[in-house]
């Protein structure tokens, strides 16, 4: 047992003892982690369970998680209760939402009711005041997209950008930032997708996790995260139906939103910003952090980007560049077969 795990185990035992839970003796069992440096474990005592979190303070700041959890939970958003936290050590003890990820429950029959549940929860989140959340400003949006230039293109695909290519990407990024900043600004989870939503034991209850990076930002951002999910893809007609249903849901709740065509444009361009970021993140996870499992999700993420830029004439140059420079490099990469890439860039 490593030193941090040993320390976490002792700390959890002490916190449970303070709560009168005396049956904790079997140690901590690992549960699925995420793309950060945090590690998650399940603690059991007398038929109950909790989630213990190891978030090394030199790598992870857990204060936003604790503060956002308290604020959102008090306003009815189903996030886990923080039972105890030691920010100096980077330890937390959380309510256990179980193991049923939304992703594992999705199929053709369940998609509509489960997305209704997820979108109802998202609408509730988007109606909260964003006070206290940092802004999703131009600097942050640009910094995220720069991950493409740093990790995906040169690092993973060995593509060195020429000055004209850099200028093209700079123009695209500027348009995507303008699109994001022109939208209604609301609380944004920032990773609201099928691996961060849990189906809880209580009937029809959703649990929301991994919200520590929340910001005040564009109203379409979390909608993109959910419906243009890197881990699952649905027919375009279904996506369009869900997008419009959510627009109507928010209008009914009193939010001021544009007409369907402009809202869809906001959604698609917001997706392009996110996909540029995620391509960089997945490449970094593989190259820097030794997590190559995320490579399999790159073709789907790229496919969203490729199809979206083909839908708007002002991004024709970007689509041509992706076709001529990026697609050949991806098709030659050992991580993917060509059929997988071709399937993801095609329309469903």
Which tens digit of pLDDT belongs to each residue from 304-344? 999 999 999 999 999 999 999 999 999 999 999 999 999 99
Residues 85 and 185 in one domain: no
Nearest to 59 by CA among 34, 22, 79: 34
Mean pLDDT calculated for residue range 221-244: 97
Phi, psi of 336 (to 5 degrees): -135, 150
For residues 135 and 175, give the distance between their C-alpha atoms in angstroms, rounded to a whole number: 18
How far CA 230 is from CA of 147, 192, 222, in Å, comes to 17, 11, 13
Which tens digit of pLDDT belongs to each residue from 189-232? 999 999 999 998 765 589 999 999 999 999 999 999 999 999 99
Domain tally, the chain: 2
User: What is the structure's pLDDT at 27?
Assistant: 82
Residues 146 and 273 in one domain: yes
- Mean pLDDT across the chain, nearest whole number? 94
Decide which of 71, 95, 119 is a domain's last residue: 95
Residues 265 and 318 in one domain: yes
Using pLDDT thresholds of 50, 70 and 90, give the confidence band for residue 24: confident
CATH number at residue 258: 3.90.1200.10
Q: How many CB atoms lie within 10 A of CB 124?
A: 15
For residues 157 and 165, give the distance between their C-alpha atoms in angstroms, rounded to a whole number: 15
Using pLDDT thresholds of 50, 70 and 90, give the confidence band for residue 1: low
Residues 77 and 154 in one domain: no
Residues 51 and 143 in one domain: no
Decide which of 61, 95, 129 is a domain's last residue: 95
Residues 182 and 244 in one domain: yes
Element (H, E) at 292: none
For residue 39, the SS3 value is strand
User: What is the structure's pLDDT at 202?
Assistant: 64
Which tens digit of pLDDT belongs to each residue from 138-149? 999 999 999 999
- What range does the domain containing 301 cover? 102-345
Which tens digit of pLDDT belongs to each residue from 37-81? 889 999 998 888 999 999 999 998 999 999 999 999 999 999 999
For residue 299, the SS3 value is helix
For residues 257 and 251, give the distance between their C-alpha atoms in angstroms, rounded to a whole number: 7
Decide which of 77, 95, 113 is a domain's last residue: 95
DSSP 8-state secondary structure symbol assigned to residue 162:
P
Using pLDDT thresholds of 50, 70 and 90, give the confidence band for residue 20: confident
For residues 276 and 264, give the distance between their C-alpha atoms in angstroms, rounded to a whole number: 18
Residues 180 and 298 in one domain: yes
* For residue 19, pLDDT beyond 90: no
Tokens of 276: 């540029």
Tokens of 231: 């881990």
Residues 71 and 111 in one domain: no
Which tens digit of pLDDT belongs to each residue from 108-161? 999 999 999 999 999 999 999 998 999 999 999 999 999 999 999 999 999 999
For residues 165 and 3, give the distance between their C-alpha atoms in angstroms, rounded to a whole number: 48
For residues 322 and 316, give the distance between their C-alpha atoms in angstroms, rounded to a whole number: 10
For residues 31 and 45, give the distance between their C-alpha atoms in angstroms, rounded to a whole number: 16
């Amino acid at each position: 047992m490593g030193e941090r795990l040993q320390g976490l185990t002792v700390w959890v035992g002490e916190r449970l003892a303070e709560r009168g839970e005396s049956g904790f003796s079997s140690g901590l069992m690992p549960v699925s982690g995420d793309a950060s440096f945090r590690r998650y474990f399940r603690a059991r005592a007398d038929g109950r369970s909790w989630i213990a979190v190891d978030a090394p303070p030199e790598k992870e700041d857990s204060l936003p998680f604790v503060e956002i959890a308290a604020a959102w939970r008090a306003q009815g958003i189903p996030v886990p209760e923080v039972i105890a936290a030691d920010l100096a050590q980077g330890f937390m003890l959380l309510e256990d939402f179980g193991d049923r990820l939304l992703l594992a429950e999705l199929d053709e029959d369940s998609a509509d009711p489960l997305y209704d549940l997820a979108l109802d929860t998202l609408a509730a989140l988007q109606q909260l005041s964003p006070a206290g959340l940092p802004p999703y400003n131009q600097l942050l949006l640009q910094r995220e997209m720069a991950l493409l230039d740093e990790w995906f293109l040169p690092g993973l695909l060995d593509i060195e950008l020429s000055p004209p290519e850099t200028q093209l990407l700079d123009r695209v990024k500027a348009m995507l930032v303008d699109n994001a900043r022109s939208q209604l600004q609301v609380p944004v989870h920032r990773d609201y997708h099928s691996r961060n939503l849990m189906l809880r034991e209580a009937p029809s209850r959703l649990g929301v996790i991994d919200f520590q990076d929340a910001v005040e930002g564009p109203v379409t951002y979390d909608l993109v995260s959910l419906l243009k999910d890197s881990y699952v893809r649905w027919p375009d007609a279904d996506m369009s139906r869900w997008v419009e249903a959510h627009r109507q849901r928010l209008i009914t709740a009193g939010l001021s939103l544009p007409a369907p065509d402009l809202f869809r444009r906001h959604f698609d361009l917001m997706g392009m910003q996110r996909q540029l970021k995620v391509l960089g993140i997945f490449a970094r996870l593989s190259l820097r952090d030794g997590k190559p499992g995320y490579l399999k999700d790159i073709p789907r993420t790229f496919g969203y980007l490729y199809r979206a830029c083909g839908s708007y004439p002002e991004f024709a140059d970007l689509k041509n560049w992706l076709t001529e420079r990026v697609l050949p490099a991806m098709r030659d990469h050992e991580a993917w077969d060509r059929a997988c890439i071709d399937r993801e860039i095609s329309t469903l």
